[in-house]
């Protein structure tokens, strides 16, 4: 594998982790407690976690040319978008339907293109 690809993978996975650690160090105790509570919330993990992990896996699979990783990441990403649309249902039905529709259309387009 090319050195440039390895560096890109390191930045793809290491960049957000490094930023999160720096952000956490700069927080006061009250903000840290709020973050810990939100990280324990299953909906937060499903929504934000799926989108972030799915995005990173999809592009990692593209970089290393392993389709199963790429397709798994894309699936996780689209599931995270759909769950985000369900979470918006309490605030706005129109926005929720729009986000869920975009997630379904994007998933369909992705799998039609990469099939």
- C-beta separation of 27 from 35 below 8 A: yes
pTM of the complete model: 0.76
| pLDDT at position 1 | 63
The count of domains in the chain is: 1
Kindly report, residue by residue over 22-35, the tens digit of the pLDDT. 999 999 999 999 98
Q: How confident is residue 72, by pLDDT bands cut at 50, 70 and 90? A: very high
Indicate the average pLDDT of the chain.
88
Domain span at 108 = 3-113
115 pLDDT more than 80: no
């Amino acid at each position: 594998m090319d050195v440039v690809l390895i560096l890109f993978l390191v930045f793809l996975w290491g960049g957000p982790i490094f930023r999160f650690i720096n952000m956490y160090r700069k927080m006061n105790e009250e903000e840290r407690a709020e973050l810990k509570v939100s990280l324990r919330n299953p909906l937060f993990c499903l929504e934000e976690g799926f989108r972030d992990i799915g995005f990173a896996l999809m592009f990692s699979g593209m970089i290393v040319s392993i389709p199963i990783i790429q397709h798994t990441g894309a699936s996780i990403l689209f599931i995270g978008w759909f769950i985000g649309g369900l979470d918006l249902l309490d605030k706005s039905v129109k926005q929720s339907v729009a986000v869920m529709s975009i997630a379904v259309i994007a998933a369909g387009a992705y799998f039609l293109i990469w099939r």
